[in-house]
Amino acid sequence: MSTYQIDRIEKEETKLVGYSITESLNHVLETRIVGILRENLAERKNDIKHRKAAGIHLIQIYPCDGQWTFDVPYQHVVAFEVSAYEDIPADMMTYTLPPGQFIKIVHRGAESEIGNTYEYINQTFGERPLDIEYWSDIHSLDQSDSQIDILIPAK
């Protein structure tokens, strides 16, 4: 069973290097493409210069028209945080997350149960331009004591 806690935080600008795709949530769930990208990125961690930590970020950037559904494609960025953009691998991209205030929701439980946490987020906070997941250890995501930090912009 998943549980969560909520905090308000201030986040500095975050530089990221990794992969980006534009796909619908249904396609992502069907193909596991984000999980595959996450695993590929972890295998290539030593190719990324100036990497700050072992954890991986997932930035999900939603359409701004408010018409998002599970079938609407949106951008997924799977990346490591870096201190500088230098010597970026040719098949990877950069993404800069601007600074700001965020609401941090900590999902505790297996990643397969994260849908319950997102249902709570959607009901409580409504539509948002993006959300961020931070996986400190991608190898423990299916364990019941796993922790995934989710950040959403504070209004």
Residue-wise pLDDT for 59-106, tens only, equals: 999 987 767 788 999 999 999 999 999 999 999 999 999 999 999 999
- With the C-alpha atoms ordered 65, 27, 55, 16, is the resulting torsion angle positive or negative? negative
Q: What percent of the chain has pLDDT over 90?
A: 74
- The mean pLDDT of the chain is 92
8-state DSSP, 143 = S
Domains of the chain: 3-153 (3.20.80.10)
Bridge partners (DSSP) listed for residue 152? 103
Asked whether the beta carbons of 121 and 150 are under 8 A apart, the reply is yes
Q: Over the stretch 18-46, which tens digit does the pLDDT of each residue have?
A: 999 999 999 999 999 999 999 999 999 99
Give the separation between CA 155 and CA 137, rounded to whole angstroms. 29
Asked whether the beta carbons of 83 and 52 are under 8 A apart, the reply is yes
Q: How confident is the model at residue 126 (pLDDT cuts 50, 70, 90)?
A: confident
Nearest by Cα to 150 from 113, 112, 110, 118: 118
Question: Looking at the whole model, is its pTM more than 0.85?
Answer: yes
8-state DSSP, 121 = H
